Amino acid sequence: MDDIINQATGCHASVHFHHRGHVLARYSSRHGHLTRRLFQLYAGLALYGASSALLVRSGLGLEPWNVLHQGLSERTGLSMGVVLTLLGAAVLLLWIPLRQRPGLGTVSNVLVIGAAMDAALALIPDAHAMAVRVPLMAAGIVLNGAATGLYIAARFGPGPRDGLMTGLNRRTGVSVRLVRTAIEITVVVTGFLLGGTVGAGTLLYAVTIGPLAQLFLRAFAVPSTSGGSTVVAGGRPRRAILRP
C-alpha cells in the first residue's frame, strides 16, 4: 500500500513540477518576446531620427514629411526635431474624429524620433563635398528602410501620419494609395514653398523605400509566442511605411 501511495505521490509531484516548468518556460518566452519587441520599437525610432538627420546633412533631398518639417523649421526658428514632434502631436489629434486608437508605438513615435533627429544633427557636421553628400544620402535612405522594418515589425501601433492615412481611407472609402499620394504631394509642395529641400534624395527615397521596407520587415519579423512565425508583410508595404 505504501509503495502505491509513494508511486502516486511521486507521479503527482512529477506532473506538478513538469507543469510548473512549462509555465515558467512560457513566461520566460513571453518576457523575452516582449523585450525584443520593445528593443526593436525604440531602436527603430532612434534609427529613423538618425537616418533623417543624414538626409538633412546630405542636402540632396528629404523624405516628404521632412520637407515640410524643414520648411516649418526655417520659418519658425525651431529645430526640425521640435517641429516634427509638435506636428506629430497635432496629427495625432486628428485621430479623434477618425476614431483611430493610438498604441505605444504611436505615442513613442511622437516623442522619440524628433529628439533622436536633433541629437544626430548636433553630432553630424554639414557636408559640402559631393563625395560626402552622396554617401550620406544613400546611407540615410537605407538606414531609414531598416528603421521602418524594426519599428513596424515590433507591432506596437502605426505612426501618427500612417494612422491619419489609414483613418482617412476607412472614413472616406478612398484608396490608401490615393490618400497617401494626395497627402504626400501636399506636404512636399507646402514644405518646398516654405524652404524645405526637395531633390534627388526625395525622388530616390520615393522609389526605393518600399522595397527596402519590405526587405527589413521580413528580416526583423518577431516570431509569435505560440512558436509559429509571424508574417509581418507579405506584399508591398503600402500601409506599413513609417512616417516620422
Distance CA 206, CA 93 (A): 27
Q: What is the pLDDT of residue 234?
A: 39
Looking at residue 14, what is its pLDDT? Answer: 52
pLDDT recorded at residue 29: 60
**Model pLDDT, residue 223:** 77
According to the model, what pLDDT value does residue 167 have?
87
Give the DSSP per-residue string, 174-207: --HHHHHHHHHHHHHHHHHHHT---SHHHHHHHH
3-state secondary structure of 63: coil
Q: Which of the residues in the chain have pLDDT under 70?
A: 1-29, 31, 224-244
What integer pLDDT is reported at residue 122 of this predicted model? Answer: 97
Residue partners of 63: CB distance under 8 A and separation at least 6: 52, 55, 144, 202, 205, 209, 244
Per-residue pLDDT, 20: 57
- What pLDDT does residue 12 have? 53
What's the pLDDT at 1? Answer: 55
Model confidence over 108-151: pLDDT tens digits? 999 999 999 999 999 999 999 999 999 999 999 999 999 999 98
